[in-house]
Structure 1
Amino acid sequence: MDKVIRDAERMFAKSVVDIETREDGTRVLRSGIPLPDSYSRCVGDWLEHWAQARPDSLYLAERDENDEWRKITYGEARRKVVGIATWLLGQHLSAERPVVILSDNSIEHALLSLAAMHIGVPVSSISPGNSLMSKDHAKLKGNIELLRPGVIYADPVERFAPALAAIRGLHDGVVVAGRSSKVLDGAVPFSVLEQASDESAVMAAFEKITSDTIGKFLFTSGSVGSPKAVINTQRMMCSNQMAKELVWPFLAENRPVLVEWLPWSHTFGGNHNFNLVLRWGGTIYIDDGKPTPAGLDKTIRNLREVAPTLYFNVPRAYDMLVPLLRQDRQLCETFFSRLNLIFYAGAALPHHLWEGLEVLSEKVTGTKVTMVSSWGSTETAPTCTDSHFEAERPGVIGVPVPGVALKLVPSADKLEVRVKGPNVFPGYWKQPDITARSFDEEGYYMIGDAVEFLDERYPEKGLLFDGRVGEDFKLLTGTWVHVGALRVAGIDAMKPVAQDIVVTGHDRDEIGFLVFPNIPECRTLCPDLPPDAPMIDLLMNPAVRQRVRQGMAMMKQTGGGSSTYPSRALLMAEPPSVEAGEITDKGYINQRVTLSRRADLVEYLHADVVDKTVITVHSAN
């Protein structure tokens, strides 16, 4: 039986960091733990291993049409993968004609991905938002025109009919309809893919796979520039998991069980989490919920039934989850019952959520849950740093993982970080000019982020994410505003009202906040209002506005000058839009897109004559 391990010293390898310091102030950081020369050749090796070693172990589970868990073991998954791969071999596929998946996470999504990679064919899971939330399908058209897929999977296919019609002239591939499709409209039913099996042909193709074989094309979120197809090789994905094995040795004693919603179209869910489970023969319960008001109930229902051993999510989700854990003792006990650690990524975790999770876990288990984070990107598959120690505070992204070198280059008053290692991508598909501009003269990938040391005297205590280099700006005084740190400080100071914040003030005298409110928490502050009170009444309620004002005053009193606190704030009645790109797949807010889309509100916020809806530190409104 797997063990529940909550002792960080037993869970993790000792943190060791080697530093090379150069004359110009540049520092190169490497892990003191060496990465072996050899490790898994491809992700398919893991499926082959577990199908033989533990064929009856549960691999994947999802809700069926009757709301029951539909389950598949490793042995069943391998048999289905061989059958699907047999059909794929007849479709004349290659890197020039890959498999594209338009749908959400599902068992068929996983099997089709694994089958394609089992015969050396790249797979590209594209965010369903590009198909379902766009009116002009511009992003999807760009995706398909670049890849020219030979197979496109959609489930249910009728839901994707407008998107499929929009891209019809951009490919000559076969459309495959998922199992929940009611209307085929010329598409091939997924069941056809499983009808035949030629194991010898599949395994002949499998043996030809090398570490350089392209496993996936993953599109960037578009938070900086237009989306690009990132080549993910087998080496990138396998070196990531080898590094994880070295720094998280407790996984050998405790196979991961995940309740997972994070989209497989993104590197966090599709590489970090999906590959982690497959590497260790664990289980994924596919969560049909999301950290949205409409999807949260489904996530809670799943967490009532399944206790995860690891929980991966974004700060937005923890903001919604913590109040419910406080209210529901049974949910809280189940959630923490066999949880080894909580992992957050996508953005820094505000301190009040960190503290809340620690208090809740200690209340029901007697010990504080270990909370960790890491850092990386789609171009690094994804892990560059990892926490293999108990962090002293939120925001610590860990230290370089084995095999990875981080180059810290002084830039203005920041340390720009660049990356080299077997986890780094070879380039963007069919975009050599963009690829060339992405690497420096020493071959380091210029990721565009900044970091700082938690304590320069003790680098093994980890690095802090210091925002994107292009996100920060200067006030008219010439003072730099560090957007990432300021955003997190603001969310924490204005708890529980602020769910997220966009920082304004570029080329202005003072900082402003566009505050996206946590509506359920705001309603708890207003017991005098009816539950269905209009949004404007809620946001203009004195209790809500006073809480924001108190947070602003607290930030000002902390000291540090005008670049460390907002002078004015505006509560947003319209939530951030996924369709417009204000929220990315992994749940963090895109500062640049939001500022552009809401430029009129930024002007309104900073107007010389302050409107009554704008909250200022000293105002009484």
Structure 2
Amino acid sequence: MYSTDVAPAGGRPTSAPTFAVPHVESEPTADGRLLIRSTDPLGEHPVSVVHSFRAHSEAHPDRLLVAERVGGNWARLTWGEAREQADRLAQGLLDRGLADRPVLVLSGNSRLHLVVTLAAMTVGAPVVPTSVAYSLQSADHAKLRTMADLVEPGLVVAEDASFAQAVVAVGEGRTVLSAGGDVPESVPVADLGAAPTAEVDRRCAALGRDDVAKVLFTSGSTGTPKGVLCTHGMLSANQQQIRQIWPFLTEEPPVLLDWLPWSHTFGGNHDVNMVLANGGTLWIDDGRPAPGLVERTVRNLADARPTVYLNVPAGYATLLPHLERDPAAAEAFFSRLRLGFFAAAALPQQLWDRIEGLAAGAGAGMRMTTSWGLTETAPAATSAHFPITRSDVLGVPLPGVELALVPVGEKTEVRVRGANVTPGYHRRPDLTAAAFDEHGFLRTGDAVALADPDDVAAGLVFRGRIAEDFKLSTGTFVSVGTLRPKLLSASHGLLTDAVVCGQDGDCVTALAWLHPDHAGRVDGNGVPEESLRRELAATMARLAAEGGGSSQCVERLLVLTEPAQLDAGEITDKGYVNQAAVRDRRADLVALLTADPVPPRVVVRG
């Protein structure tokens, strides 16, 4: 049963503050580390997000939990309906002997995906959501097979017939569940469910904090994907940490319009669990940060009117022009918005300034903020829950989180310890052992610095992935994580992403993708037209004018005409570009950047 007229969460803002005042302390150690921790203790919280879900479903069964576009209209599911369906499906898992094996989900964000997740977690079956791109965009399904072989699921969930080929790759000998049975050899979800018995409640009550709720495969942005163990305790602890720094969530159940894939920790753990833990409403956005799809997001804003908006920088870059030229869309976006949030990559400062300016023009009290974390940290580990004007500030540790800033060569790595940190990797004790240092801190591979060396309360700033950085022939280090967003910001929207090159060379160069609006300004051989060449040269000149020396200037640039390829590991479906993979796969183009004489495809700084 799907409701068509149910009230969402949200409503008029309360007097609850948006941010809690952060309290942090630091302690230098004899071995050169700097420990930074929140002095606010982690508050009491349920064993599992499932327990939060069940409590809210009893407290407000008629509130809208999730809405999904079907045939152009919203199909809706209330909290009470979701609870009923999840419990019936949980009993079906028990009856078929599937409750003690992982559940592999091929489908994207949907009501079915959510109900299956809740059902499996209720009876203790780990959920393994996989990237839809591995099912629908991959030519060989190799990564999908690797994941299935590693987790050995009992149940495979495929929404509809579009997943048929992926099911062939991983479904042999396994029960396959689909929405309506239109996937060959699948069981319709209606046939798997059964009237719940007391065993469902018993299994849920027996869940422990150390039990595995999900296995989330990392995106592979810096290496081979690996299965991160997400326990019930770490997911629930992370939502309590977020609730303590955003106190309004307790009084204002969040309303989200969200497209971020549930196969990643940002969408699947941070965002969905925020709704489940706080009794909110999730409108599943069928839009994406791409031409022809972002228009769907703009349309959906009028119905959802989010109170919290969460996106990756590429999402803001695509949505912002529509808000700037469409007052009605801007009004819908800002009408109830408490927080605008970004994560997963650095936000170019130029985008930050435009968003802030648009909010001020709309008279909105929205605050922009960000946090930092990984799949391994559930994901939030830090948050900028205080006023900031710089987009590269990552904030301070969450309650119950301890950071260690550790010198690694010429950089400083941030490491994490706390209740929200994973115990390790599925069936990979070698990776688990290597992931933690001798003090029990998770090694992250991310470089940071203090925003103010004299005040740890000013937070951390991101300095990129240590593995992505390289040296020029002069011995100068190039911080890719710092330079890339500066280049994109200097392009004034001309570029959507870039790969920084120049290892062991005399200068920094870059490969870059044009914004789709400018794609026609490059000929069939990849040569920019003269006006575009001047704009790209001016972009590099503006970047150089910001200062920072040779490591923060781009001297030559080449426009890429082929999109980043998923199967080649160049990009994730969330939009994060693997710098090393692109440089390796396109080594011939990297070589053109330093060729003499300068090839026609290459633009030199003006």
TM-score with structure 1 setting the length: 0.93
> Which residue of the partner structure matches residue 179 of structure 2?
178
> Which residue of the partner structure matches residue 612 of structure 1?
600
- Aligned-partner SS, 2:90: helix
Distance 1:25 1:212 in 2: 33
- Aligned-partner SS, 1:49: helix
The question of 1:167 aligning with 2:155 is answered no
The question of 1:371 aligning with 2:378 is answered no
> Which residue of the partner structure matches residue 318 of structure 1?
316
Q: Residues 433-484 of structure 1: CA distance to partner in whole angstroms, max 9, x if unpaired?
A: 1111111111111111111111122221211111111110000100000001
The question of 1:383 aligning with 2:380 is answered yes
The question of 1:212 aligning with 2:210 is answered yes
Distance 1:103 1:279 in 2: 23
- Aligned-partner SS, 1:19: strand
Superposition deviation, residue 536 in structure 1: 4.7
The question of 1:77 aligning with 2:74 is answered no
> Which residue of the partner structure matches residue 116 of structure 2?
112
Superposition deviation, residue 22 in structure 1: 1.3
Gap regions ≥5 residues in structure 2: 1-8
- Aligned-partner SS, 1:263: coil
- Aligned-partner SS, 1:354: helix
Instruction: Report if aligned partners of 1:212, 1:234 keep a CA contact under 8 Å in 2.
Output: yes
Q: Residues 261-308 of structure 1: CA distance to partner in whole angstroms, max 9, x if unpaired?
A: 000110000000000011111000011121122422222221233211
> Which residue of the partner structure matches residue 563 of structure 2?
575
Superposition deviation, residue 368 in structure 1: 5.5
Q: One-letter code of the match for 1:315? A: P
Q: One-letter code of the match for 2:176? A: V
> Which residue of the partner structure matches residue 43 of structure 1?
49
Instruction: Report if aligned partners of 2:335, 2:364 keep a CA contact under 8 Å in 1.
Output: no
Give RMSD over aligned pairs.
1.9
Quickly say closer, same or farther: Cα 1:106–1:200, change in 2 above 3 A: same
Gap regions ≥5 residues in structure 1: 524-531
Distance 1:112 1:362 in 2: 41
Q: Residues 60-110 of structure 1: CA distance to partner in whole angstroms, max 9, x if unpaired?
A: 100123x11111111111111110001011232355x21110011000100
Quickly say closer, same or farther: Cα 1:486–1:81, change in 2 above 3 A: same
Q: One-letter code of the match for 1:90? A: D
Q: One-letter code of the match for 1:192? A: D
Q: One-letter code of the match for 1:199? A: T
- Aligned-partner SS, 1:11: coil
Distance 2:79 2:500 in 1: 47
- Aligned-partner SS, 2:236: helix
> Which residue of the partner structure matches residue 28 of structure 2?
21
Q: Give the percent of matched residue pairs that are identical in Structure 1 and Structure 2.
A: 43
Distance 2:565 2:374 in 1: 22
Superposition deviation, residue 42 in structure 1: 0.9
Q: One-letter code of the match for 2:338? A: N
Distance 2:486 2:85 in 1: 49
> Which residue of the partner structure matches residue 415 of structure 1?
412
> Which residue of the partner structure matches residue 527 of structure 1?
none
- Aligned-partner SS, 2:17: helix
Q: One-letter code of the match for 1:349? A: L
Superposition deviation, residue 27 in structure 1: 0.4
- Give the aligned length: 598
> Which residue of the partner structure matches residue 61 of structure 1?
67
The question of 1:563 aligning with 2:551 is answered yes
Distance 1:23 1:5 in 2: 48
Instruction: Report if aligned partners of 1:346, 1:587 keep a CA contact under 8 Å in 2.
Output: no
**Bigger mean CA deviation after superposition, 19-28 or 229-238:** 19-28
Equivalences for 1:77-226 in 2 at 5 Å?
77-93=82-98, 97-156=101-160, 158-169=161-172, 172-179=173-180, 183-194=182-193, 196-226=194-224
Superposition deviation, residue 562 in structure 1: 1.3
- Aligned-partner SS, 1:236: helix
What stretches of structure 1 move > 3 A for 4+ residues in a row?
1-7, 532-539
Distance 1:574 1:517 in 2: 11
**Which of 2, 14, 17 is the equivalent residue of 1:10?**
17
Superposition deviation, residue 216 in structure 1: 0.4
> Which residue of the partner structure matches residue 435 of structure 1?
432
Equivalences for 1:181-580 in 2 at 5 Å?
183-194=182-193, 196-364=194-362, 366-367=363-364, 369-520=366-517, 522=518, 536=524, 540-580=528-568
Q: One-letter code of the match for 1:191? A: A
Q: One-letter code of the match for 2:140? A: D
Distance 2:126 2:320 in 1: 39
Instruction: Report if aligned partners of 2:62, 2:78 keep a CA contact under 8 Å in 1.
Output: yes
Superposition deviation, residue 24 in structure 1: 3.1
TM-score with structure 2 setting the length: 0.95
Instruction: Report if aligned partners of 2:341, 2:368 keep a CA contact under 8 Å in 1.
Output: yes
Quickly say closer, same or farther: Cα 1:5–1:469, change in 2 above 3 A: farther
Q: One-letter code of the match for 2:163? A: F
Q: Residues 245-267 of structure 1: CA distance to partner in whole angstroms, max 9, x if unpaired?
A: 11110112321111110001100
Quickly say closer, same or farther: Cα 1:535–1:255, change in 2 above 3 A: farther
Superposition deviation, residue 538 in structure 1: 9.6
Instruction: Report if aligned partners of 1:4, 1:339 keep a CA contact under 8 Å in 2.
Output: no
Instruction: Report if aligned partners of 2:61, 2:78 keep a CA contact under 8 Å in 1.
Output: yes
Instruction: Report if aligned partners of 2:522, 2:529 keep a CA contact under 8 Å in 1.
Output: no
Distance 2:445 2:96 in 1: 39
Q: Residues 160-215 of structure 1: CA distance to partner in whole angstroms, max 9, x if unpaired?
A: 2222222345xx32011124x6x342210111123x21231210111111111110
**Bigger mean CA deviation after superposition, 434-443 or 604-613:** 604-613
Q: One-letter code of the match for 1:41? A: V
Distance 1:461 1:533 in 2: 43
Distance 1:81 1:22 in 2: 49
Distance 1:55 1:17 in 2: 39
Superposition deviation, residue 535 in structure 1: 5.3
Q: Residues 383-429 of structure 1: CA distance to partner in whole angstroms, max 9, x if unpaired?
A: 11112112131111111001111110012221111111111111111
- Aligned-partner SS, 1:566: coil
**Bigger mean CA deviation after superposition, 115-124 or 250-259:** 250-259
Q: One-letter code of the match for 2:49? A: V
Superposition deviation, residue 127 in structure 1: 0.5
Distance 2:331 2:483 in 1: 34
Quickly say closer, same or farther: Cα 1:117–1:598, change in 2 above 3 A: same
Q: Residues 518-569 of structure 1: CA distance to partner in whole angstroms, max 9, x if unpaired?
A: 122x37xxxxxxxx77755996233322221112112223333211101100
Superposition deviation, residue 607 in structure 1: 1.3
Distance 2:13 2:202 in 1: 41
